[in-house]
Structure 1
Amino acid sequence: MDRNIAINLVRVTEAAALGSAKYMGRGDKNIADQGAVDNMRRMFDTMDINGIVVIGEGELDEAPMLYIGEKIGSCRPDSPEVDIAVDPLDGTNCVAKGIENAISVIAMAPRGCLLEAPDTYMYKLAVGPKAKGSIDLNASVKENMLSVAKALNKDITDLTVTMLDRERHNDIIRDCRELGCRIKLFSDGDVAAAIATCFEHTGIDVLIGKGGAPEGVIAAAAIKCLGGEMQGKLTPMSDEELERCKSMGSEIDKVFLLDDLVKGDEAYFAATGVSDGDLLRGVRYLPHNKTMTHSVVMRSKTGTIRFIEAIHNMEKKPVYAK
């Protein structure tokens, strides 16, 4: 695929971030999400790709835009055929409440290379490059934490573990505390938290716990670009979710390795911060109707990671301001 696709993906996440950031702290997660979706869709229309959304905002009857199965891009005969996984606003509650770690994200790979994850939960375990090869989702929490600490040459009491702040993680929290690990809980949006394990400046060593399966695939694309490791296992938590998995032919008991979640060596990932977080700064509003965004874009084939800070003149970009 054309390497310039990566830069165009950033333009899409920038647009989505700008579409949602203006609703920061206003208490309405749905309008914030819709602002991101609308802007992302408009920018996708400008891309020379023949894309299919494999992870999106829901089915056709549930989402007006960016639904699973939707065709994206110019779709010309010579346009590259790609799978697209999107989360226009990962952390809708974060934006509604005006708190950290909301981002707009996209993952892209050649057709057939992204796992079509059902809308259910996934038990995830993610680490950065230096701990690659040290995790096993079939092992206990304590075994994994000790193994990661050894790989990182850290005392277990210096290991920082992050997970969603949910009651379902009480047993994991207990095990980590018994070992003496440092724990950092977050309220929403586990894509950014998973990626943070791959950057030493974030201070995050391990992500563990149950979160959305679609978000797991998106995070896996970034982790593949970054040289880290991630494993996941589908964990439906209701009869409805179980039926959803069965209808898609998903393997419930399988531990998905990184190459199962994202096949091949050609994957792209882009994200733009909506609110401040461990990885990216949120949208800033400047004088004279200008805004500033902070983004990251990655390509697995080359291992290139770019952080991009952009200033947008909103008077010249009316599509962003709608």
Structure 2
Amino acid sequence: MRTTGWPVPGTTGGFRTEERYLGASAGTGGPDHALALELVPVTEAAAVAAGRWVGHGDENRGKVAAAGTVHRLITSVSMRGVVVVDEGGQPRSAGAEIGAGAGPACDVGISVGGAALSAARDVPTALAAIAVAERGGLYDPSPVRSMEKLAVGPHLADVVDIDRPVAQNLRAVAAAKGVRVPDVVVAVLNRPWHRKLVHDIHEAGARVHLVEGGEVAGAIAPALRESPVDMLLGTGGAAEGVIAAAALSCLGGSLQARPRPGGPEHSDTGPAVGEVLHTQDLVRGESIVFCATGVTDSEVLPGIQHHSGRAITQSIVLCSNPDTVRIVKSEHRHSRWRGHEEHQFA
């Protein structure tokens, strides 16, 4: 089903929304499609705030600007939220109560800094994302710093295992898809600690797609019908793993994660902690929503486009109940953000 002119609160100018309804609505008392739409103006504003720093050689300022925008605007969202995950966000925000104080009781995950590279690489934040689940639904990643991850789409969830060798998983994916191993595309975050992983994938004969932006986008990509990516492999932040799991849960995809105590740069030598976690361990409940707006181009969304006097953003809005995928394209007049931008650059 395709709908044009869907009223997204808080947007300015013209926009277009594309919807694909995958299931019927069922009220659960948790976060729903109405709450998901309330998140769109929040991630849009955060993306615009971060995007003002693209090319200025200071990715941390973009992260801070986006985080501050999220925490300021999310106070108007109709929920009784508690921050469980805040990747790249405000200091000491975990456990903070957010939202308007009315509506469903929710766990909230915020990601505005998962794409940090060196300032010279000019990718300050690929996505500004918010995940919301029923209270108690989000895994608290604070005890661990990083996770080894394997993400796939709906039709491959039962054919891969993070404990298997890379080559064995690649052969299983190829067999399930009815293709050759050289036709399998594996997304890997482009970081120094993944050199051996990239070598192993090449040795097995598969193709590597290096993810320059954030691993949240890279993990979501295998579950998108239009994406050429079949699987994500590699080690990254624990918080990003929880945020990605929320999106994959809405899309029917699968994430397997092995927690590690050290940073991802120690992924080849650091020991694993506990058992492998699956999507349902990282995010629980029947009602899960996810909203993200592109800052720079990623595997999921295009970045902000700037034209004379206006900025165009594109967002993805996912809801598990009802199963819905929305793509929201919005046009913002720069005057709406002028005061905020001047404050950032002061």
Residue 284 of structure 2 aligns with an amino acid whose one-letter code is K
Q: Aligned residue for 1:244?
A: none
Does residue 153 (structure 1) correspond to residue 173 (structure 2)? The answer is no
Deviation readout 1:258-310 (Å, 9 max, x if unpaired) = 110111221111110001122211111122x3211000000112220001100
Take 1:49 and 1:264, find their aligned partners in 2: how far apart are those partners?
16
Q: What letter is aligned with 1:41?
A: H
Which residue is 2:58 aligned to?
28
2: CA distance between counterparts of 1:137 and 1:194? 14
> What's the counterpart of residue 327 of structure 2?
307
Distance in 2 between the 1:89 and 1:271 partners?
13
Does 2:271 correspond to 1:272?
Answer: no
1:221 equivalent to 2:246? Answer yes
Asked if 2 retains the 8 angstrom alpha-carbon contact of 1:101 and 1:278, the reply is no
The corresponding residue for 1:246 is: none
Query: 1:171-210 maps to which residues of 2 (within 5 A)?
Result: 171-210=196-235
Q: Alignment partner for residue 52 of structure 1, among 82, 103, 113?
A: 82
Q: Name the residue aligned to 1:105.
A: 129
Structure 1 stretches (4+) deviating beyond 3 angstroms? 94-97, 316-322
1:85 deviates by: 0.5
Structure 1: give runs of 5+ residues left out of the alignment.
242-250
- Could you list the per-position Cα deviations for residues 175-219 of structure 1 after superposition, in whole angstroms to 9, with x for gaps in the alignment? 211211001122341000011111242211110010001100100
Instruction: Note closer, same or farther for the CA distance 1:94–1:152 as it changes in structure 2 (3 Å cut).
Output: farther
TM superposition shift of 1:169: 2.2
C-alpha distance in structure 1 between counterparts of 2:339 and 2:33, whole Å:
25
Secondary structure of the structure 1 residue equivalent to 2:285? coil
Per the alignment, do residues 306 and 94 of structure 1 end up closer, same or farther by CA in structure 2, a change over 3 Å counting?
A: farther
Question: Within 1, Cα distance between the matches of 2:277 and 2:87?
Answer: 23
Residue 286 of structure 1: aligned partner: 307
TM norm structure 2? 0.82
State how many pairs are aligned: 304
Q: For 1:219 and 1:143, locate their aligned partners in 2 and report how far apart those are by CA, in whole Å.
A: 24
Unaligned residue ranges in structure 2 (runs of 5+): 1-29, 267-271
Q: What letter matches 1:229 in structure 2?
A: S
Deviations, residues 73-110 of structure 1 (Å, cap 9, x unaligned):
1224xx21100000123313377632497110111001
- Partners of 2:212 and 2:233 in 1: CA distance: 14
- Show the counterpart of 1:70: 96
In 2, the alpha carbon distance for the partners of 1:143 and 1:275 equals 34
Q: Structure 1's 185 and 121: CA in aligned 2 closer, same or farther, altered over 3 A?
A: same
Partner-residue secondary structure (3-state), 1:90 = coil
* Residues 1:149 and 1:69: Cα distance change in structure 2 (over 3 Å): same
Indicate conservation of the 8 Å contact 1:101/1:277, yes or no: no
Query: Are residues 166 and 318 of structure 1, via their aligned partners in 2, closer, same or farther at CA, if it must alter by over 3 Å?
Result: closer
Does structure 2 retain, via aligned residues, the 8 Å contact 1:10–1:297? Answer: yes
Q: Is the 8 A contact 1:23 1:96 kept in 2?
A: no
TM-score (norm 1): 0.88
Question: Would you say the 8 A contact 2:213–2:298 is kept in 1?
Answer: no
Which AA in structure 2 matches 1:154? V
Aligned identity (percent) is 34
The CA RMSD over aligned residues, in Å, is 2.2
Per the alignment, residue 84 of structure 1 pairs with 108
